[in-house]
Amino acid sequence: MTAPIISLIPPPLRNDARVIALLSAFEAVLNEMDDRALLMLNPANVPEFVMPYLSYEHSLDEFIGPGLPVAVIRTMIADAWNLHEPKGYQEGIEGGVAMLGYAASLVSWWQENPKAKRGTHRIEVPIDKPIWPDQPPASRETIRAIWRMIHAMQRWSQDHALQIISEATAPVVAAAAVRTGFVLQVEPYDPGPLDVPVPIRAGVGIIISRTLTIEGRLS
């Protein structure tokens, strides 16, 4: 035990073994920490272990889900004001999803043809790359991260439907081939396990392009 910790103990307690043991334990923990890193505020430079503290300091818990890549979290911390200030507005939802790397587009009920139910919105999110490099673009985790952002940004008096638009490459076949159709349905935001039923419809056709577009509507 070093002298500074003893000097913090008031004289009436200086001979109390329990007080000395408690402060010694605190000192041991503090000696293992790099307190200089905790003083760093630039999200681009702080060590990864500091990110949870820095995101908490910027009140970003509702935006950041488990396992979100550190690079995305750094972007959110650096632009935290633009997450909090426009909450409840169209630019907030679109800007929040943009921080995940996708250009979202919000379509209001009166812009639909025919008009949709009053007070509802549809959010289109084209996905051409994954948030997690080792996963496919429209993975379950990616959809959950987008839906979490919308849930945090939306105005509680409004309902939203999320439409995911993703593309996957397919080989060119100059003959009849089996094609499968996918319908992706996800219920409103739920922090629990994500259930994605995928009914498959098979048929025979000719693939004339290398790109297969899959549009999934979440409501």
The whole-number pLDDT of residue 173 equals: 39
Say which residue, 74 or 38, is predicted with more confidence. Answer: 74
- List the domain boundaries for the chain: 102-219
The whole-number pLDDT of residue 4 equals: 67
Hey, what are 11's tokens? 């004289």
In order of 34, 170, 172, 204, 209, the CA distances from 177 in angstroms are 61, 12, 10, 6, 13
d(Cα 93, Cα 69) in Å, to the nearest integer? 20
pTM: 0.62
d(Cα 139, Cα 194) in Å, to the nearest integer? 11
Confidence band for 75, pLDDT divided at 50, 70 and 90: very high
Contact, 54 vs 115, CB < 8 A?
no
Beta bridge partners of 177: 205
Given phi > 0 = left and psi -120 to 50 = alpha, else beta, which region is 183?
Answer: beta
Contact, 165 vs 128, CB < 8 A?
no
**Cis link prior to 137 (omega < 30° from 0)?**
no
The whole-number pLDDT of residue 134 equals: 87
Helix (H) or strand (E) holding 28: helix 17-32
Q: What is the mean pLDDT of the chain?
A: 75
Q: Is 204 helix (H, G, I), strand (E, B) or coil?
A: strand
d(Cα 175, Cα 155) in Å, to the nearest integer? 50
Tokens 């496919």 map to which residue? 136
